[in-house]
């Protein structure tokens, strides 16, 4: 009777083993059936399709420390290291001399969040309330082992924070049990004959004629074959390439620049005051290195900051610091590239764009990452107007496939007038995708630029999420092979 079911030899061995065991885990089944674990489980799944066995799977969520988590479990979290070392207010510069800059960068935000210290005017002042927190207790509980949520005995919020900080990673522990069914027991009771099977015929079998007396392994011709996926460009890269092509077709020049920029080009040249919140540690990656100031622009930028220079503006007032302007940062926007390009090319016409990565101290979540791509562009020519800017951006979004585009008034320190472009997405409504405007005279005049400059900075990742139908920004950077395989292939 069993031959009617076209059982393979491995399936027969597994059935006979289960008839004795009734149920077993993969290791026990492999040992009893005399097969490898992988072969035993493959046979078990085939038998499950035929109703002869049942495979039950119990999935348990488990957590373990990452390499960084193990390090901080031993040494203490960055905020604990810092707070234990200071008993009175210290400057940020003093902290950088006491600790690794990376530790300082992480610690400052958490000191403030936990209420252990106040950070004001460049000073870190302990509050005197640095009790041991749940995240520290949780790190100690791990003791280098995998733990379930119940074993950790902490809150989901603590685990979530530790995962965000990349100190803990989550995985799944699967436990499989293979159980023989009544139908399977009946098959064994009817008698199973195990014979050598041939999976593939060879020239030797054909020449000798031995194939006539051999039993061939049965094949199910109704089983769907595995899908074949062709090679393709990553969906995110494909969209970036599409955006580049649009601007190149519109006559723009693509520009590139260094990731490390001086505060002068990243902030000061764009008329951002030196006490602007964007320069604080929690928003910007500050580096210990420094750059020389461009002598041809230093005095004019200083003048426009302090009293407006010859622009008719009152400036920001106060004393402009060369020391602050010299400090290097990881660029917080790619505008640092376009403003320097304009300074090097002050004669019209100029049409340039950049699609590159920028860096900010952001907590990783579905809508924020510390690294992100930005599309930056400028047009500088005689008689350029605000309407030219709106027309250029409308054309770009139309070519990207958005039919409805509108603009809302906005505010940015270095453009006036300023707008925020929005596109209409079915099911979401109007979605804001960046900022744009005409550079203020306080930006262009100190650099010797005499003509109007249209400028914009657009969120590439947000645009990509809309085009790809994603709800989590992190999916753009994850190597999810199933998503990559099944993503559509488009001819640009």
Reported as a single tens digit per residue, the pLDDT across 319-365 is: 989 999 999 999 988 899 999 999 999 888 999 999 998 888 877 77
Instruction: Flag whether 492 is in a domain.
Output: no
Residues 99 and 192 in one domain: no
Residues 335 and 479 in one domain: yes
Residue 366 has pLDDT above 70, yes or no: yes
Q: Collapse the DSSP code of 220 into the 3-class scheme (helix H, G, I; strand E, B; otherwise coil) and give the result.
A: coil
The mean per-residue pLDDT over the stretch 183-204 comes to 77
Specify burial of residue 479 (Cβ count, 10 A radius: 0-12, 13-18, 19+): exposed
Nearest Cα residue to 116 out of 79, 164, 81, 165 = 79
The mean per-residue pLDDT over the stretch 29-55 comes to 90
Q: Bigger pLDDT: 21 or 217?
A: 21
Instruction: Flag whether 406 is in a domain.
Output: yes
pLDDT-derived band at 226 (thresholds 50, 70, 90) equals: confident
The whole-angstrom distance between residue 419's C-alpha and the CA centroid of its chain comes to 28
The per-residue pLDDT for 408 is: 93
The per-residue pLDDT for 281 is: 56
The per-residue pLDDT for 1 is: 42
The mean per-residue pLDDT over the stretch 152-175 comes to 90
Q: Bigger pLDDT: 363 or 26?
A: 26
Beta partners for residue 352, in sequence order: 253, 378
Residues 127 and 36 in one domain: no
Residue 57 has pLDDT above 80, yes or no: yes
Sign of CA dihedral 110, 112, 113, 116: positive
Instruction: Flag whether 26 is in a domain.
Output: yes
Residues 461 and 480 in one domain: yes
Instruction: Flag whether 325 is in a domain.
Output: yes
Query: Which of 26-35, 108-117, 181-190, 471-480 is least confident?
Result: 471-480
pLDDT-derived band at 441 (thresholds 50, 70, 90) equals: very high
Residue 4 has pLDDT above 50, yes or no: no
Model pTM score: 0.57
Q: What are phi and psi of 423, to 5 degrees?
A: -120, 155
Number of domains in the chain: 3
Give the residue numbers spanning the domain of 463: 235-486
Residue 492 has pLDDT above 50, yes or no: no
The mean per-residue pLDDT over the stretch 462-478 comes to 82
With helix as H, strand as E and coil as C, how does 197-219 read?
Answer: EECCCCHHHHHHCHHHHCEECCC
Residues 364 and 452 in one domain: yes
DSSP code of residue 225: P
Residues 164 and 302 in one domain: no
């Amino acid at each position: 009777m069993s031959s009617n079911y076209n059982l393979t030899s491995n399936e027969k061995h597994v059935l006979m083993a289960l008839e004795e065991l009734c149920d077993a885990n993969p290791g026990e089944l492999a040992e009893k059936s005399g097969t490898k674990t992988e072969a035993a489980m493959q046979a078990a799944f085939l038998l499950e399709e035929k109703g002869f066995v049942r495979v039950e799977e119990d999935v348990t969520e488990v957590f373990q420390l990452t390499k960084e988590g193990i390090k901080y479990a031993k040494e203490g979290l960055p905020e604990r290291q810092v707070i234990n070392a200071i008993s009175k207010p210290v400057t940020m510069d003093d902290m950088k001399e006491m600790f690794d800059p990376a530790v300082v960068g992480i610690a400052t935000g958490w000191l403030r969040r936990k209420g252990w210290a106040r950070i004001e005017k460049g000073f870190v002042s302990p509050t005197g309330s640095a009790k041991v927190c749940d995240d520290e207790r949780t790190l100690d509980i791990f003791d280098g082992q995998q733990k379930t949520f119940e074993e950790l005995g902490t809150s989901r919020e603590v685990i979530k924070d530790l995962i965000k900080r990349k100190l803990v990673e989550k995985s799944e522990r699967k436990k499989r049990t293979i159980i023989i069914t009544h139908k399977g027991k009946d098959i064994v009771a009817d008698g199973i004959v195990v014979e050598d099977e041939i999976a593939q015929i060879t020239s030797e079998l054909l020449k000798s004629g031995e194939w006539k007396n051999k039993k061939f392994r049965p094949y199910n011709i109704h089983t769907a074959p595995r899908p074949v996926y062709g090679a393709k460009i990553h969906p995110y890269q494909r969209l970036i390439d599409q955006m580049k092509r649009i601007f190149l077709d519109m006559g723009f020049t693509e520009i590139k620049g260094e990731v490390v920029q001086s505060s002068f080009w990243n902030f000061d040249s764009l008329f951002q005051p030196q006490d602007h919140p964007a320069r604080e540690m929690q928003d910007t990656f500050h580096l210990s290195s420094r750059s020389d100031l461009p002598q041809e622009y230093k005095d004019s930028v200083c003048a426009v900051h302090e009293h407006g220079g010859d622009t008719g503006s009152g400036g920001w007032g106060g004393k402009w610091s060369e020391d602050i302007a010299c400090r290097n940062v990881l660029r917080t926007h790619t505008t640092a590239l376009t403003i320097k390009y304009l300074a090097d090319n002050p004669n019209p016409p100029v049409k340039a764009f950049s699609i590159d990565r920028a860096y900010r101290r952001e907590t990783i979540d579905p809508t924020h990452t510390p690294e992100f791509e930005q599309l930056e562009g400028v047009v500088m020519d005689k008689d350029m107007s605000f309407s030219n800017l709106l027309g250029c951006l409308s054309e770009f979004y139309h070519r990207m496939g958005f039919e409805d585009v509108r603009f809302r008034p906005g505010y940015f320190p270095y453009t006036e007038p300023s707008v925020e472009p929005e596109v209409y997405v079915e099911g979401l409504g109007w979605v804001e995708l960046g900022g744009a405007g005409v550079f203020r005279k306080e930006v262009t005049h100190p650099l010797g630029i005499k003509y109007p400059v249209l400028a914009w900075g657009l969120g590439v990742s947000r645009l990509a999420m809309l085009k790809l139908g994603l709800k989590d920004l992190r999916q753009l950077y994850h190597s999810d092979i199933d998503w990559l395989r099944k993503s559509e292939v488009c001819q640009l």
